[in-house]
Amino acid sequence: MSRNDSEASSNGRTADFGSAYEGSNPSASASTGQKPANLRAELKPLSRPSHVLLVTLGNVPHRLLADASAALRGVLDLASKNGPSLDRPQYAYNESRGQYHATAILRRLSSLGGPAHVPVVGLVDVDLFLPDAAYVIADADRDAGAAVFSISRLSHGEPEQLRRRTQVETVHAAGHLLGLSHCSDFRCAMFVSRDAADSDRKGPGLCTSCRTAVGLP
């Protein structure tokens, strides 16, 4: 797992940590200008998929899939298809923490990509964790072609706020699967999200550097 918010690890894993550990203060890194925005796709150019598979787990409102799909099309010029609506991932539940292990969910999602290895983005309504973090908003494994993000810590507020946060984090998750790491521009969808405030601060769009990195004009 990467220990630097602006870089994915060499095995393609990228998580949005919600613990006290963040590597650096993201607000500070955005304001000092010392760390440039993401200027490249991660470790190698990635072939552009024909579409992304969107999958809900648990009681995620079905209407959010339409919002997620619109964001993928509008920002990344990616088509999407709705995958199966899955039950709450009890196989990933850790009783001692009262949370769900993100890695176990990624394994299950990656199996849905099929022989064509279609990238899969999962939307879940439960609180996620990794062993070295109090919680995570999202996790992605580029090599496995799967990403997941939770609306558990994003669902307070007005319905329109949840809709926008869903669009922002869908683009963020898909961006990792296209090869993008975290970005230091707090207005870019690829900026790390630790909470709803971070998601609200971002736009669903990408900064110029991240757009260039994935071949967008």
Residue 120 in any domain: the answer is yes
Q: Are 10 and 44 in contact (CB under 8 A)?
A: no
Query: Where in the sequence is the domain holding 90, given as residue range(s)?
Result: 13-213
- pLDDT in the model for residue 47: 80
| Tally of structural domains, the chain | 1
Residue 96 in any domain: the answer is yes
- pLDDT in the model for residue 17: 54
**Euclidean distance between the first and the last CA atom of the chain, given in angstroms as a whole number:** 31
Per-residue pLDDT of the chain (217 residues; tens, 9 = 90+): 333 333 333 346 677 654 322 222 222 223 333 334 444 344 455 688 999 999 999 999 999 999 999 999 999 999 999 999 999 999 999 999 999 999 999 999 999 999 999 999 999 999 999 999 999 999 999 999 999 999 999 999 999 999 999 999 999 999 999 999 999 999 999 999 999 999 999 989 999 999 999 999 9
The CATH code of the domain that includes 126 is 3.40.390.10
Q: Cα separation of 196 and 36, whole Å?
A: 24
CA 133 and chain centroid, separation = 16
The burial class, CB within 10 Å (0-12 / 13-18 / 19+), for 142 is buried
Q: Cα separation of 133 and 217, whole Å?
A: 36
- pLDDT in the model for residue 15: 72
- pLDDT in the model for residue 183: 95
Residue 172 in any domain: the answer is yes
Residue 7 in any domain: the answer is no
Residue 140 in any domain: the answer is yes
Residue 8 in any domain: the answer is no
Residue 128 in any domain: the answer is yes
Residue 1 in any domain: the answer is no
